[in-house]
Amino acid sequence: MIEMVKVRQVFDGCQPLDIEAQLRTDFERLGIGNKLSPGSAIGLAVGSRGIDRLDAVVKTAAEILKEYGAKPAVFAAMGSHGGTEAGQLAVLRSLNISEDRLGIAVKASDNYRQIGVFNGLPLYVNSLALSFDYIVPVNRVKPHTSFRGPIESGLTKMVAVGIGGPPGARVIHSRGAPFISLLIEVLGQELLQRLPILFGIALVEDKRHRLKCIRTCRKEDFTAVDRELLTEARRYMPRLPFEEIDVLIVDQIGKCFSGTGMDTNIIGRFGIRGIPDRGPKIKIIVALDLAEESHGNANGIGLADITTSKLVEKIDYPATLKNVLTTSFLDRAKIPVTLKSDKEAIETAISLLPETGEDVRLVHISNTLEIEEFYVSSNLAQRAGLEVIQTGRVMDFDSQGNLRGYIPLSS
């Protein structure tokens, strides 16, 4: 049994953000109320997962817009997840975006329309986007899991890929990963000229995955704000504080944690041919389970080396394939070596290493979104930026080989 230590990364504190005060200040600064006619139909474009307090941001924005005399509603803006109308609404409900929660209509459609061509590339939008007087995209700005560039996840991407839906996403991915950022910017700018975008709400999170910044901006400033906030978001992106790991155990993967199931910025693997991996260098990744909130979408399972039968049995293959085929990153859908239990998967990974005993560098995280506290083998515990919480622990499994947690070494 390898001795494990529970550690906590030392992250700077973040003051709680007053969502209502920030949005009211921003709306007044931009003169939003003066731009609206009584009864203006406003569509809040929402769809990205895993954003801290997203429901509170959307609810507050809607309430202020109603005070201005507008009629706000949410519409699902998703590149390739969700799929059907019912599937998109299910995703929104999992984000606490519902009519009961927000007090406004929440809509979805799997119908998309081509509204033009730009430089030989078709421009697609969700048909719901054309039913509103104005559109307000809401999205988090953060490093993407599939490409690098001056513009990654953010407001411009929400327009080009979110509102563009699966056909828009396919166009964005059609030239390969090196051109995704450029196409998001170019096609996003063109769509901004053709759609009635009123303003956008950009969000940035800190290392604890807590909302740190809200920036409301005019559509003319989307790309500038995306660029600026991406630089800030990179500073706040958490990391695993190790250059080399022998085995990384991940309790759960899923779209609720990252678009790729496991955040490539955390595990250092992209799973895209021709795109080099980055640190940390991980010899074997073991994925134990698929989160229920992922609704069977196991995009990114191919980033693992070993998995379990319980994870594979939860995969919704049509949903996963829709996501993967849209991006064309096929390796991310490949099923790893599959073993019957957590215990067998972990023990097999360790047995494949040339290192033995105390030399094995083992890291165990819940998921790639929450990496403030986790377990490491004792040889990794004494690192700068880590606080030791518990020592002398070993993994505890039930009779079926499922990991229950950790118990003192002396037990």
- 71 burial via Cβ count (<10 Å: 0-12, 13-18, 19+): middle
- Which distant-in-sequence residues (6+ apart) come within 8 Å of 253 by Cβ? 261, 262, 287, 289, 290, 291, 294, 298, 300, 301, 304, 311, 367, 368
Which stretch of 3-12, 74-83, 143-152, 262-271 has the lowest confidence by average pLDDT? 74-83
Residue 225, both tokens: 């704000």
| Between residues 394 and 384, the one the model is more confident about | 394
| Between residues 227 and 1, the one the model is more confident about | 227
Q: How far apart are CA 150 and CA 238, in angstroms?
A: 19
Supply angle C-alpha 149, 155, 160, rounded to 5. Answer: 80
pLDDT higher than threshold 70 for residue 82: no
Q: Which CATH architecture has domain 31-236?
A: 3-Layer(aba) Sandwich (3.40)
Secondary structure element (H or E) that encloses residue 168, with its range: helix 165-173
Model pLDDT, residue 194: 96
pLDDT higher than threshold 80 for residue 411: no
Domain boundaries, the chain: 4-11+240-408, 31-236
Q: What is the pTM of this model?
A: 0.86
Could you say which DSSP state residue 347 is in?
H
- The amino acid that residue 44 corresponds to is L
101-134 pLDDT, tens per residue?
999 999 999 999 999 999 999 999 999 999 999 9
In percent, how much of the chain has pLDDT > 70? 99
- 306 burial via Cβ count (<10 Å: 0-12, 13-18, 19+): buried
Model pLDDT, residue 155: 97
Model pLDDT, residue 323: 83
For residues 239 and 384, the answer to whether their CB atoms sit within 8 Å is no
Mean pLDDT, the chain, integer: 93
For residues 238 and 9, the answer to whether their CB atoms sit within 8 Å is yes
Q: How far apart are CA 332 and CA 400, in angstroms?
A: 29
